[in-house]
Amino acid sequence: MAKLTFGTVEENVVTRSEFPLDKALEILKNETIAVIGYGVQGPGQALNLRDNGFNVLVGQREQSKSWDKAVQDGWVEGETLLPIKEACQKATIVMYLLSDAGQIAAWDMVKEQLTAGKLLYFSHGFGVTYSDQTNIIPPNDIDVVLVAPKGSGTSLRRLFVEGKGLNSSYAVYQDATGNATQKALALGIGIGSGYLFETSFKKEVYSDLTGERGVLMGALAGLFEAQYHVLRKNGHSPSEAFNETVEELTQSLMPLVAENGMDWMFANTSTTAQRGALDWKNKFRDLNIPLFETLYDSVATGKEAAIVIDANKKDDYRVGLEQELAEINASELWQAGKTVRELRAN
């Protein structure tokens, strides 16, 4: 296990060079892995494991779009594609990759199949961390681990196909067999992680929920809307407002930041942009720290979990969700984006 040092802080990481695929295959050579759920994370993780040579099944609800997608991806009905209960029965490792709401709904049935010595795998700490609300409490005689790719299942698969890896966190919640850590790392390598960094179930879900509501999605979408609104209000065209708000960020600047860092970006812009960015960075930081503190507290106290769980219990939740998404799609901002994307190649 390697150490990364950030100033005075050290953290444990595992790289593919020190934990090669051959080692992962040896550790899991006698295991049958069932990937339960074929929605967001399921396809990427299942396909990567299969392509890497592991013994993999997919468990999915029959007569669903996800079942049909699994068939299209080459999983064979009755052999490598099974109903959830049957897949869990056959597996020694159950990768529980249903949505948070789906995990709650299926838990009683899945729990019955978790006999002594099996391993239960998550890619999100939600169900276990908020067990007072989800009732997901694993049996004491099984291993419980987490490997959480830091990106979508689509990105995990795309990078794998390109011969690259998506970084993941890992955690051991319960080690009943004494082998939980090695199996967690083997699974992390198997799904195509670039490197693995240590965390806990609680820290994973706290950071994940904060990130989703903050910089990764909620805050980013809100900033897009705010800047676009101000530019349009002051007479700028939709093309100009969208390109200055979204297109330049996503197509030009963020890829360079990902490659070289923000300091490099600041150093390689015009003096006008450089000075403005440095002067306004602190204003945005100081304005948003109190908001992020409120957000983190809402996550840590379980309030955000309760909102998610209660929303998914409503019979008409999907209808309302589709309406909310349709409103975003119909907005001038994202209709402008659709047009701009279509014109990129022309």
In 3D, which of 100, 86, 46, 33 has the Cα closest to residue 312?
A: 100
Tell whether 267 and 302 lie within a shared domain.
yes
In the chain, the amino acid numbered 13 is V
Name, in order, each residue with C-beta under 8 angstroms of 40's C-beta and a sequence gap of 6 or more. 97, 99, 152, 153
State the angle between helix axes of 201-213 and 218-233 in degrees (0 to 180), rounded to the nearest 10: 10
Is residue 256 exposed (0-12), middle (13-18) or buried (19+ Cβ within 10 Å)? middle
Tell whether 196 and 216 lie within a shared domain.
no
Residue 188 maps to a domain: yes
Find the domain containing 319 and state its range: 211-343
Distances (CA, A) of 170 to 13, 19, 176: 9, 14, 17
Q: What is the pLDDT of residues 19-48, one digit of tens each?
A: 999 999 999 999 999 999 999 899 999 999
Q: What is the pLDDT of residues 271-329, one digit of tens each?
A: 999 999 999 999 999 999 999 999 999 999 999 999 999 999 999 998 999 999 999 99
54-81 average pLDDT score: 96
* Edge-to-edge strands, sheet with 93-96: 2-6, 9-15, 193-198, 166-174, 143-149, 119-122, 93-96, 33-36, 56-59, 81-82
249-256 average pLDDT score: 92
Tell whether 315 and 166 lie within a shared domain.
no
Tell whether 41 and 83 lie within a shared domain.
yes
Tell whether 317 and 193 lie within a shared domain.
no
CA dihedral 112, 116, 121, 124 (to 10 degrees): 60
Tell whether 47 and 187 lie within a shared domain.
yes
Residue 32 maps to a domain: yes
| CB environment 61-82: b (16+ within 10 A), e (fewer) | beeeebbebbeeeebeeeebbb
What rounded mean pLDDT belongs to the chain?
A: 95
The tokens of 294 are what?
């409120």
105-110 average pLDDT score: 97
* pLDDT the model gives residue 7: 81
Domain finish residue from 143, 173, 200: 200
Predicted confidence (pLDDT) at residue 5 exceeds the cutoff of 70: yes
Domain finish residue from 200, 221, 238: 200
Number of compact structural domains in the chain: 2
In 3D, which of 185, 172, 105 has the Cα closest to residue 142?
A: 172
* pLDDT the model gives residue 346: 62
Distances (CA, A) of 162 to 16, 70, 158, 159, 166: 16, 21, 6, 5, 11
Give the CATH number of the domain where residue 250 resides: 1.10.1040.10
- Tell me the three state secondary structure of residue 178: coil
Q: What is the pLDDT of residues 196-213, one digit of tens each?
A: 999 999 999 999 999 999
In 3D, which of 27, 75, 48 has the Cα closest to residue 163?
A: 48
- Catalytic residue numbers, as ranges: 124
* pLDDT the model gives residue 294: 98
Question: What's the CA gap between 275 and 58, in Å, rounded?
Answer: 53
In the chain, the amino acid numbered 193 is S
Give the CATH number of the domain where residue 169 resides: 3.40.50.720
Tell whether 169 and 138 lie within a shared domain.
yes
Question: What's the CA gap between 87 and 166, in Å, rounded?
Answer: 27
Beta bridge pairs of residue 4:
11
Question: What's the CA gap between 110 and 113, in Å, rounded?
Answer: 5
Beta-sheet pairing, 93-96 with 119-122: parallel
Q: What is the pLDDT of residues 69-84, one digit of tens each?
A: 999 999 999 999 999 9
Tell whether 121 and 234 lie within a shared domain.
no
Taking phi over 0 as left and psi of -120 to 50 as alpha, with beta for the rest, 163 belongs to left
Q: What is the pLDDT of residues 151-186, one digit of tens each?
A: 899 999 999 999 999 999 999 999 999 999 999 999
Q: Are 165 and 16 in contact (CB under 8 A)?
A: yes
Tell whether 40 and 169 lie within a shared domain.
yes
Domain finish residue from 147, 166, 200: 200
Residue 7 maps to a domain: yes
CA angle 261, 267, 272 (to 5 degrees): 125
* pLDDT the model gives residue 160: 95
Tell whether 33 and 65 lie within a shared domain.
yes
- Residue listed under structure tokens 């999983």: 75
* pLDDT the model gives residue 259: 92
Taking the model in full, what pTM does it have?
0.91
Question: What's the CA gap between 104 and 248, in Å, rounded?
Answer: 41
Residue 178 maps to a domain: yes
